[in-house]
Structure 1
Amino acid sequence: MAAAPIEKKVTAAIAAAYVGSTGLLASLAAVQDDARLISSLPDGLTPFVLALIPAAITAIAGWKAKHTPRPPR
């Protein structure tokens, strides 16, 4: 039995997670170091709010990517 191809949605989500966790997190760390940009957030909530940004990028990439067509059975 041949292995099924990896869905394009999964590939897009993986790529977005990688990009979001590398370059974007470095940018978010810089934002976190600049207290003026996030001063309105409670200190305990800040890491969770900043972590939502890469998660949102991953979710949107997976949602926007098209499904991989499957051959009829």
Structure 2
Amino acid sequence: MAAPVETKVKASTAGAYLASFGLLEVLVEVQDHPLAIGFLPDAIEPFVLALVPAGIAFVSGWKARHTPRL
């Protein structure tokens, strides 16, 4: 019998999906805005922008409760 998927995994997956889906357009606009991240070198900008969805996934997984074990 397969073990249930933990609530933390579901929450972080949903957070990553919503962050990438909902914030993708915003991140593209920020990337093109010179005052927002223009102080960073061009080679580092994509990595910094990729931290936003990763951070949302981390926080949503961290805040969710563990699935009770039987």
TM-score scaled by structure 2?
0.93
C-alpha separation between the residues in 2 aligned to 1:13 and 1:65?
A: 8
Amino acid across the alignment from 1:6: V
Q: Identity rate of aligned residues, in percent? A: 56
| Structure 1 position 29, deviation (Å) | 0.5
| Structure 1 position 38, deviation (Å) | 1.1
Larger radius of gyration: 1
| Structure 1 position 33, deviation (Å) | 1.2
Does residue 34 in structure 1 map to residue 33 in structure 2?
Answer: yes
| Structure 1 position 42, deviation (Å) | 0.8
Aligned to 1:9: 8
TM-score scaled by structure 1?
0.89
Aligned to 2:69: 70
| Structure 1 position 3, deviation (Å) | 2.1
Q: RMSD of aligned C-alpha atoms?
A: 0.9
Task: Structure 1: state its 5+ residue gaps.
Answer: none
Task: Structure 2: state its 5+ residue gaps.
Answer: none
- Figure out how many residues of one structure are paired with residues of the other and give that number: 70
After superposition, the C-alpha distances for 1:12-66 in whole angstroms (9 at most, x for unaligned) are: 0100010011111211101111112111111111000000011011011111100
